[in-house]
Amino acid sequence: MTKIHFSKIQTESKIIKARELQIELPSTPVKYYRHGWQSWSLAAWTSLSPLPVQKPAIFHPLQVDAESVHESRPNGSWLGAVEFADGNVLLLGALATDTIVLLEQDQLTGRSEAGDVEWFMAFGREDVIFAEYANALEHRFGSIQRNDTPRVWCSWYSLYHAIDEPALHKIFDELTDLPFEVLQVDDGWQMDIGDWTVNEKFPSGMADLAQKIKSTGRRAGLWLAPLIATKTSQLFHEHKDWFLRDEHGQLVSAGFNWGQPLYALDTTHPDVTPWLVALMKQVRTWGFDYLKLDFLYAGALKGKRHNNMPREAAYRESLRVMREAMGADAFFLTCGTPILPALGLCDAMRIGPDVGAHWEKHRDSVLFYNFTIPGTRNAIRTVINRLWLKPLVRIDPDVVYFESNENSLTPEQKSLLQDLALICEFKATSDLPQWMTRDEYEHLRAYLNLNPEIKQTGRYTFEIGNRQVDFTPATELPEIPNGLVALWASFLSWLGDFHFVLRIFKWLDDEALKKRRARGAFC
């Protein structure tokens, strides 16, 4: 254990090599910066008191780092920071994967699962020291050329998985008038999770779909989740030995979605790498050159790998392999990704949870203390706390909305989300032309062409053009539930851990989606 005196970093930043490192703080801080593990995990400045463990537990593998979710001391992945009463901040951040930072009494501690690693330490103004950390990360992990950021239409947040060939063709034709560079097909085209072949809803096949997009003068984008599979997939049937297991030989859970438990590929298995390479080449051959690879955290879950290496290092290696296979000319967006291990290997990274056509849900935020679940407030909260990543990679805050037909966000909430995407310089939407009024459509067009001057004036305040924008209200966390409310929350989340309950919710969602699709005049 290496101990560092605060006085050593008070005047200038330091880099020190250690497996475990401790900085003695000069006084008790007032706030802690928690940096969640992957795209969807919470990043926020919080009080020092323990936060409730977010619920339901069945989602832990896909929402947080399941290895540290029960740690009650303030903690986060790779980095942590404390704010003192005078506003100064002390940052401790690893320049390596497989590391965590936590606050133990008045000591900020860094730990590595991968032997000695370099640690960056700095004290002073928050914006200055985070920029220095980003700079140090760039030297270790690399960064990407970011002279352009495509404007994207993505199918997820309007039709969800209820996409098919006629519907997408109709939308692509109607969008020709708007300045998008990419039309991206999301979840809903594949045979199964694990079987990345076309399903019956796309009778002309994937190459035809890519061709249709390219014929409108845009780049063709495609979603896939190459590192997970469900038991129903052919991949699972044929290659059970490719999946990650624990030390008892049990399959490691990668969470639950699509009404089914998810499992993770062991990317160090010698047969998995060629399979991933072939998959990337296949989608490129179809004609897609904007790839949104999702649920990537599965490659970094704890387990007994074929090649015994630290879990995040294994994940980074699998990204390197996929990046190389798709080619440097493909645009690679990572989603549901552990943040640090993906730096330097992808063109863009989702840095927050999914948005939604609603602000937040009482059950999820107040009862379950879950800020990972799709919802616009959750997305804004984490993204605004991860803007320091911008010099390293294009940061994707998820889509923005303009239409009000199928959306319960207030105009102010929509505008906050739009402003956040301007700050990120990443513009995407899923809005359907036929759901927008003439005004909303023109608003979207003007927005896509907008390039305002932006100045950050405080942690959560900005000057955008000549407007002052304050994100503070979106960042606050609700009171911790206690008494009867806490009891009710525990009961509900206990229910939420049963597969059949989650399947009932999925059935209800699917029914609602059918009606939504019908209102989109696709039937």
Contact positions vs ligand 9PG (CB under 6 A): 40, 59, 62-63, 156, 186-187, 223, 257, 294, 335-336, 354, 372-374
In the bound state with ligand 9PG, the residue whose beta carbon lies nearer, of 315 and 460, is 315
Instruction: Using CB positions, name the residue nearest to ligand 9PG.
Output: 187
For the beta sheet containing 454-456, the strands, ordered from the edge strand earlier in sequence to the opposite edge, are 454-456, 461-464, 467-470
State the nearest-atom distance from the C-beta of 295 to ligand 9PG, in Å. 7
Neighbours of 390 (CB within 10 A): 17
Residues whose CB falls within 8 Å of the CB of residue 173, separated by 6 or more in sequence, listed in order? 216
In whole angstroms, the minimum distance from the beta carbon of 334 to ligand 9PG comes to 11
Return the number of the residue (63 or 318) whose C-beta is nearest ligand 9PG: 63
> Which residue number, 98 or 294, has a Cβ lying nearer to ligand 9PG?
294
Whole-number minimum distance, CB 39 to ligand 9PG, in Å?
7
List the end-to-end C-alpha distance of the chain, in Å, as a whole number.
65
As a whole number of angstroms, the distance between CA 493 and CA 64 comes to 16
Nearer to ligand 9PG, 114 or 477 (CB): 477
**Shortest distance, CB of residue 335 to ligand 9PG, whole angstroms?**
5
Please report how close the Cβ of residue 350 comes to ligand 9PG at its closest, in angstroms. 6
Token readout for 493 is 């989340």
C-alpha torsion 203→209→215→217, nearest 10: 160
In residues, how long is the chain?
523
Nearer to ligand 9PG, 292 or 316 (CB): 292
Rg for the chain, CA atoms, rounded: 22
Cβ at position 174, least distance to ligand 9PG in Å: 22
Contacts of 346 (CB under 8 A, 6+ apart): 144, 319, 323, 332, 333, 334, 337, 393
Are 86 and 70 spatial neighbours (Cβ–Cβ below 8 Å)?
no
Q: At its nearest, how many Å lie between ligand 9PG and the CB of residue 56?
A: 10
C-beta closer to ligand 9PG: residue 59 or 243: 59
Alpha carbon distance 28, 358 (integer Å): 38
> Quick one: 317 or 354, whose CB is closer to ligand 9PG?
354
- Angle at CA of residue 425, ends 127 and 416, nearest 5°: 80
The residue among 46, 44, 56 whose CA lies nearest residue 367 is 56
Q: Which of 75, 67, 65, 149 is nearest to 108 (CA)?
A: 75
Name the residue nearer to ligand 9PG (CB basis): 40 or 130. Answer: 40
Shortest distance in whole angstroms from residue 98 CB to ligand 9PG? 23
